[in-house]
Structure 1
Amino acid sequence: MKTKLYVNNEKMVAGITLKDLSELESNNTALHACKNLEDVLENRKKLASYLQCELSNFVCAKQTHSSNSYKVTMKEKGRGAHLMETAIPDTDALYTYEPNLVLSSFNADCVPVIFYHEKTGVVGVIHSGWQGTVKEITLKLFKHLVQAENCNPNDFHVQICPALSQEKFEVDEDVYVKFNDLGYADKFMHYNKRTNKYHIDNQLTVKKQCMLAGIPEEKISVDRTCTFKSEDGFSYREDKQCGRHLCFIMKR
């Protein structure tokens, strides 16, 4: 099971699965984007074994590029783990205080975010494609955690995981306008006169949203691996039939 870990200690484990040509469906973990459900379930079971838990510990959402988040309790244990139909609907961010739940986010170019809060113990994952970014899912969730869950923003630790690079994230004016309307993304965009296209850095825009929520810059790490250019990456922009990474965090 090819996996990159960002945190692995007595309190939690967090990371992302990677593309691996030697595995079934190249280590695809997404039931909504696969050729064979059983192969994907086998990959998920391998990840569960690697994390020393069961697949029934996983919690998955039906991602819709929304700005919706969901507070996961033990009642949600196993949702979306074996069947898409049981996934938490219309949700792109999950957070929990509960141990032994593997919060899961599926990505292929979109920006995955993993976070934990030192004092309260809350952990979570966010899926922020460009639509989620312009809807400010990351900023909204962190504001909610600060206001409703009494999280001091200084105590967050955020990991922004591999995504499509600015070089490869090429868009037309309609998407550029949506980012520009945010009022703080202009530094993360440039125009290519030769192609008449705009290039946007979605990762750094998401990082800015974390900072706007009050999280100190030094508490935010960014993995600049490009999912398009890396042999370890699934890229929807490169291949519409590609699999997905599974970005995860589990409290122990």
Structure 2
Amino acid sequence: MNIKFYENNEKRMLGITLKDAERHENNNMALHVCQNRANILENRDILAQVLETDVKRFVCANQTHSAHFVHITQAEIGHGAFDAASAIPDTDALYTYEPNVVISSFTADCVPVLFYNEKTNLIGAIHSGWQGTIKEITFKLMQHLQANEDCDLQDVQVIIGPAISQEKFEVDSDVYEKFKALGYADAFMYFNEATNKYHIDNQLTVKTQCELAGIPSSNITIDPMCTFKSEDGFSHRQDRATGRHLSFIVRKED
């Protein structure tokens, strides 16, 4: 299975599944956009084997491009693992302190964010498409963690995963105006006179949201892979029927 690991050690595993021609539906991991549910469950089962766990330890959300986040407890483990109907509803970010749980996020051009605080056992995943970014889901979740979960953001490590690049993320003035209204994204946008389109770097905007919340720049890593241009990438902009990557993070505990 084609998987990119950002960490794989005795403490945690985090990474992202990539396109794989040898797997069903090119290694699509999403039940809400698939040709056959059994294909996705088989793909997830193989991923679980690689992660040395079971699919019943996965937690998946019904992502709606919201700014909603949910604290996952023992009661929610397994939600969305085998069917979309049981996924955590209307949610685009999940976090937990539970060990040996696969916290997930599905993307195909949108920005996946994985994060952890080793001192408090916190782990989490965020789905930030452009709509989630202008709603500041990442910034709001980090503020919440600081205010309500006694999380020192100086201790948080962030990995911003593969997404559509600024070159390929072209938008009209309506989306440009929404990013401009944030007040800090101007440096991540340019106008192409030849096409009359604006180009936006969603990854750098999300990185700035992390920094504004209080996470040190040195704690943030960006994966430069463009999901539109890379053969390993699922791109909704390129193919509306495409599958989804699954970004994952697991904290290990015996």
TM-score by length of 2: 0.99
Compute the displacement of 1:70 (Å).
0.2
Q: Separation in 1 of the partners of 2:116 and 2:54?
A: 22
Q: Give me the CA root mean square deviation.
A: 0.5
Is residue 151 of structure 1 aligned with residue 156 of structure 2? no
Where in structure 2 are the equivalents of 1:33-44 lying within 5 Å?
33-44=33-44
Q: Separation in 2 of the partners of 1:4 and 1:121?
A: 23
Aligned residue for 2:226?
A: 226
Aligned residue for 2:209?
A: 209
- AA in 2 matched with 1:245: H
Compute the displacement of 1:121 (Å).
1.2
Q: Separation in 1 of the partners of 2:61 and 2:226?
A: 24
Q: Separation in 2 of the partners of 1:39 and 1:242?
A: 14
The number of residue pairs the alignment matches comes to: 252
Q: Separation in 1 of the partners of 2:92 and 2:158?
A: 16
Is residue 12 of structure 1 aligned with residue 12 of structure 2? yes
Compute the displacement of 1:118 (Å).
2.1
Q: Separation in 1 of the partners of 2:180 and 2:140?
A: 18
Q: Equivalent residue of 1:106, what SS?
A: strand
Compute the displacement of 1:11 (Å).
1.2
Unaligned runs of 5+ in 1: none
Is residue 32 of structure 1 aligned with residue 32 of structure 2? yes
- AA in 1 matched with 2:57: N
Is residue 117 of structure 1 aligned with residue 110 of structure 2? no
Q: Separation in 2 of the partners of 1:92 and 1:74?
A: 19
Aligned residue for 1:236?
A: 236
Aligned residue for 1:247?
A: 247
- AA in 1 matched with 2:94: L
Q: Separation in 1 of the partners of 2:22 and 2:85?
A: 29
- AA in 1 matched with 2:5: L
Compute the displacement of 1:22 (Å).
1.4
Q: Separation in 1 of the partners of 2:105 and 2:33?
A: 13
Q: Separation in 2 of the partners of 1:13 and 1:233?
A: 21
Unaligned runs of 5+ in 2: none
Q: Equivalent residue of 2:121, what SS?
A: coil
Aligned residue for 1:184?
A: 184
Where in structure 2 are the equivalents of 1:92-111 lying within 5 Å?
92-111=92-111
- AA in 2 matched with 1:87: A
Q: Equivalent residue of 1:123, what SS?
A: strand
Q: Separation in 2 of the partners of 1:139 and 1:237?
A: 25
Q: Separation in 1 of the partners of 2:121 and 2:185?
A: 31
Aligned residue for 1:91?
A: 91
Deviations 1:216-244 (A, max 9, x none): 00000000100000000000000001000
Q: Separation in 2 of the partners of 1:159 and 1:137?
A: 15
Q: Equivalent residue of 2:4, what SS?
A: strand
Q: Equivalent residue of 1:103, what SS?
A: strand
TM-score by length of 1: 0.99
Deviations 1:80-105 (A, max 9, x none): 00010100000000000000110010
Q: Separation in 1 of the partners of 2:199 and 2:7?
A: 31
- AA in 1 matched with 2:120: T
Aligned residue for 2:165?
A: 165
Q: Separation in 2 of the partners of 1:119 and 1:24?
A: 39
Q: Equivalent residue of 1:211, what SS?
A: helix
Q: Equivalent residue of 1:70, what SS?
A: strand
Q: Equivalent residue of 1:144, what SS?
A: helix
Q: Separation in 2 of the partners of 1:144 and 1:77?
A: 22
Q: Separation in 2 of the partners of 1:38 and 1:118?
A: 36
Moved over 2 A (4+): none
Deviations 1:53-82 (A, max 9, x none): 110000000000000000001111110000
Aligned residue for 1:198?
A: 198
Alignment identity in percent?
62
Q: Separation in 2 of the partners of 1:49 and 1:235?
A: 26
Q: Equivalent residue of 1:142, what SS?
A: helix
